[in-house]
Structure 1
Amino acid sequence: MSDIYDSYERLRFDWPAEGVLRITMSNPGRLNSADARMHGELVRVWRDIDADTRVRAAIVRGSDGAFSSGGDLDLVQQMTEDFDVLTRVWKEARDLVYNLVNCSKPLVSAMEGPAVGAGLVAGLLADISIAAKDARIIDGHTRLGVAAGDHAAIVWPLLCGMAKAKYYLMLCESVSGEEAERIGLVSLCVEAAQLQDKAVEIATRLAAGSPSALRWTKYALNNWLRMAGPTFDTSLALEFMGFKGPDVQEGLASLREKRRPAFTKDCPL
Structure 2
Amino acid sequence: MVNTLEFTVADGVATLTFNRPAQRNAIDLVMRGELAQCFANVQKDRTIRALVLTGAGGAFCAGGDLRSMQSSGNDGAGWRARMQDAHQWVGALIELDRPVIAAVDGPAYGAGFSLVLAADFVIATPAARFCMPFLKLGLVPDFGALHTLPRVVGMQRAKELMLSAREVAADEALRLGIVGEIVPADRLPARAQALAASFTGASPLAISLMKRALAAEPANLAATLEFEADAQALCFTSAQHREAVARFLDKQPAAFVWPTGEQS
TM-score, with structure 1 as normaliser = 0.75
Q: 2:179 aligns with which of 177, 186, 210?
A: 186
Equivalent position of 1:27 in the other structure: 20
Q: 1:112 aligns with which of 96, 101, 105?
A: 105
Cα drift, residue 93 of structure 1: 3.3
Distance 2:33 2:23 in 1: 17
Q: Structure 1 residues 43, 120: CA separation in 2 closer, same or farther (over 3 Å shift)?
A: farther
Local SS of the residue matching 1:110: strand
Local SS of the residue matching 2:102: strand
Equivalent position of 1:223 in the other structure: 216
Q: 2:58 aligns with which of 65, 75, 82?
A: 65
Structure 2 gap ranges (5+):
219-264
Residue 10 (structure 1) aligned with residue 13 (structure 2)? no
CA contact (8 A) 1:8 1:41 kept: no
The structure whose Rg is larger is 2
Equivalent position of 1:96 in the other structure: 89
Distance 2:179 2:12 in 1: 24
Cα drift, residue 47 of structure 1: 2.3
Cα drift, residue 102 of structure 1: 2.4
Q: Structure 1 residues 140, 43: CA separation in 2 closer, same or farther (over 3 Å shift)?
A: farther
Equivalent position of 1:230 in the other structure: none
Distance 1:84 1:162 in 2: 30
CA contact (8 A) 1:124 1:186 kept: no
Equivalent position of 2:143 in the other structure: 150
Q: 2:115 aligns with which of 116, 122, 134?
A: 122
Local SS of the residue matching 1:130: strand
- Aligned-residue Cα RMSD (Å) equals 2.1
Q: 1:53 aligns with which of 38, 43, 46?
A: 46
After superposition, the C-alpha distances for 1:213-242 in whole angstroms (9 at most, x for unaligned) are 1111111111149xxxxxxxxxxxxxxxxx
CA contact (8 A) 1:39 1:92 kept: no
Cα drift, residue 42 of structure 1: 2.3
Equivalent position of 1:205 in the other structure: 198
Residue 165 (structure 1) aligned with residue 149 (structure 2)? no
Q: 2:80 aligns with which of 80, 87, 101?
A: 87
Structure 1 gap ranges (5+):
1-6, 226-269
TM-score, with structure 2 as normaliser = 0.76
Cα drift, residue 79 of structure 1: 4.7
The alignment covers a number of residue pairs equal to 219
Sequence identity (%): 32
Cα drift, residue 85 of structure 1: 4.5
Asked which structure has the greater RCO (Cα within 8 Å, sep 6+), the reply is 1
- Report the more deviating stretch, 19-28 or 80-89: 80-89
